[in-house]
Amino acid sequence: MEEKRHTSLHYEKELQEIKNSLIYLGALTEKAIQDAMKALSERNSEMANKIIKDDDDIDKLDTELEERCIRVLALRQPTAIDLRFITTAIKITGHLERIGDMAVNIAEKAIQLNQEPQLKPYIDLPRMTDLVTTMIKDSLDSFINNDLERAEKVRRMEEVIDDLNEQIFRELLTFMMEDSKSIHRALLIMQVSKNMERIADHTKGIADMVTYMITGENVRHQTREIS
Amino acid sequence: MDANMIISLHNVNFYYGPSRALNDISMDFPEKQVTALIGPSGCGKSTLLRLLNRMNDLIIGTRVEGKVLFEGKDIYDGHVDPVEIRRKIGMVFQKPNPFPKTIYNNIAYGPKLTGANAGDLDALVEQSLKQAVLWDEVKDVLNKSAMNLSGGQQQRLCIARALAMKPDVLLMDEPTSALDPISTAKIEELIEELKKNYTIIIVTHNMQQAARISDSTAFFYIGNLIEYNKTEKIFTNPDVKQTEDYITGRFG
Ligand SMILES: Nc1ncnc2c1ncn2[C@@H]1O[C@H](COP(=O)(O)OP(=O)(O)OP(=O)(O)O)[C@@H](O)[C@H]1O
Ligand SMILES: [Mg+2]
């Protein structure tokens, strides 16, 4: 549905700029996660260090975005869809900032793992990475295009990630039981997987906010039916 | 809504001469709540407000169709006394309009006309001014002209004047549009206080004001009632797109 434009074109521009910044922030976090996985699979600690350093940019953009949203709240006193848009934007930027932190966590684990021989080839983790970056993209697309279906798709993918995470846990447990020397590395990889799973949680958080923004209904904290 | 409905409109049309200003309005006003009427200029808010206490009777060539029930009785019935209706349903206007009299007499004037006895007047004046949160500011100058008060004080005086008639309902037509923010805040605070005992129906162009002080909000557009809903609903997630476009300031 095409929205009518605001009478105030400045206001219109402020909202558009918030959208643009969120897309940019989303792109930064996607790249951070992809790079963190690369740092791990290609055993590239230099790349990992760069991710840790670049996280400052994500934090800065998050702060800026939040301030911009607060300014709109204070000066424009948005109502209805505009109010839901701004509150959603504030939440989304918070989620993206946390996703950036997860990328840093993964990069730190990669640095540690890279100092030891590789425990096993990484197969499921790159798959998880592809999935969660798609989830970030989809959750933001759903926000930009008011796309309920895409938000729902993100929620469905989150379940796939949960399953993958469990599978990785089980596999690593067998490694640990067979060889106690593998425990340290296995635990680090588990934490990488756990971080991926938390990233997926954050994208689900974004999707839930988008659903709220579009419908006005709060779907957070609803337990899914177990089929 | 469990509240008792003090005023009900059934299929009301209103005409200024040949031109229709309100189209088929049906709505109920809950007792002891604040209802806000919003909408663009000329959509019929003031017309509707004046219709509720027969103020429109004073404009020649006007005509009402449908039913306007106050406590279940049609106020446009032939044998109903409009003066009595206006006593029970008081009105406060956009511009404070005190009489060019003393503060005391502004309040006492109406009750005197309707036969209140002189002994009760002092108490009534004090009580009304206290209810309008003006007493402390004017108790020492009751015999000075009301015209010397500030705009915000004058507006509270007009509210006190309406309250002195012991109404059930207060109609307010943009009561703060001529006031500064502090006076506005005082009136809003007063409205919150008054709704414990009175039903208040207020027209306002200030969306935030409607959001702050009202329980329900009705949105009108060219003589039609577009949406009537809980205020919280209207300002967070209205049911009708037109309402949303209006309150978010999008092109009409
Ligand atoms: N005394 C009158 N004689 C003829 N037409 C009138 C009269 N008063 C209002 N109207 C017309 O009735 C319609 C509704 O007017 P009304 O004053 O009720 O609007 P409103 O919503 O209160 O607008 P505003 O926000 O500008 O006060 C308008 O088209 C107006 O021109
Ligand atoms: Mg008016």
Mind listing the pLDDT tens digit for each residue in A152-194? Answer: 999 999 999 999 999 999 999 999 999 999 999 999 999 999 9
A224 touches chain B (CB under 8 A): no
Minimal-distance CA residue to ligand 1 atom 1: B59
Alpha carbon distance B12, B28 (integer Å): 12
Q: Is B110 in the pocket of ligand 1 (CB under 6 A)?
A: no
Structure confidence at residue A115 (pLDDT): 95
State residue A223's pLDDT score: 57
Read off the pLDDT of residues B101-148 as tens digits, 9 standing for 90 and up.
Answer: 999 999 999 998 888 787 889 999 999 999 998 999 999 999 999 999
CA B50 to ligand 1 center in whole angstroms: 11
The pLDDT of residue B245 is 94
Tell me, yes or no, whether A222 lies in a domain.
Answer: no
Q: Is the pLDDT of residue A19 over 70?
A: yes
Å from B187 to nearest chain A CA? 21
Decide if B250 and A3 are in contact by the 8 Å CB cutoff.
Answer: yes
DSSP-derived letter for residue A6 is B
Which atom of ligand 1 approaches the CA of B50 most closely? 18
- Whether A111 is in a domain gets the answer yes
Supply the mean pLDDT for chain A: 93
Output the average pLDDT for chain B.
93
In a domain, A129, yes or no: yes
d(C-alpha B15, C-alpha B66), whole Å = 12
Position A226 in a domain: no
- What pLDDT is attached to residue B2? 64
pLDDT recorded at residue A4: 83
Q: Does a structural domain hold residue A220?
A: no
Give the start-to-end residue ranges of the domains of chain B: 5-99+167-247
The answer to whether residue A73 is domain-embedded is yes
Among A9-13, A17-21, B115-119, the least confident range: B115-119
What interhelical angle do A124-144 and A9-41 show, nearest 10? Answer: 180
Query: pLDDT at residue A226 above 70?
Result: no
Q: Mean pLDDT, to the nearest integer, of A21-33?
A: 96
Q: How far is CA A15 from CA A21, A83, A87, A144, in A?
A: 10, 11, 12, 11
Q: pLDDT tens across B15-58, in order?
A: 999 999 999 999 999 999 999 999 999 999 999 999 999 999 98
Task: Answer whether residue A104 is part of any domain.
Answer: yes
Q: How far apart are the first and last CA of chain A?
A: 34
Tell if the pTM clears 0.90, that is, is over it.
no
Q: Exposed (0-12), middle (13-18) or buried (19+): which is A25, by Cβ within 10 Å? A: buried
Number of domains, chain A: 1
pLDDT level of residue A2 (50, 70, 90 thresholds): low
Residue B252 pLDDT > 70 = no
Query: In this structure, what CATH number is given to the domain that contains residue A114?
Result: 1.20.58.220
Question: Cα–Cα–Cα angle for B34, B36, B42, nearest 5°?
Answer: 155
Q: What is the ipTM metric for this complex?
A: 0.71
Segment A35-57 mean pLDDT? 97
Contact (CB, 8 A) for B47 and B21: yes
Domain containing residue A66: 2-215
Establish if A79 touches chain B: CB-CB under 8 angstroms: yes
Q: Give the nearest chain B residue to A79 (CA atoms).
A: B235
The architecture in CATH of the region B5-99+167-247 reads 3-Layer(aba) Sandwich (3.40)
One-letter amino acid at A108 equals E
- From B15, B25, B46, mutation site for ligand 1 pocket: most ligand atoms within 8 A of C-beta: B46
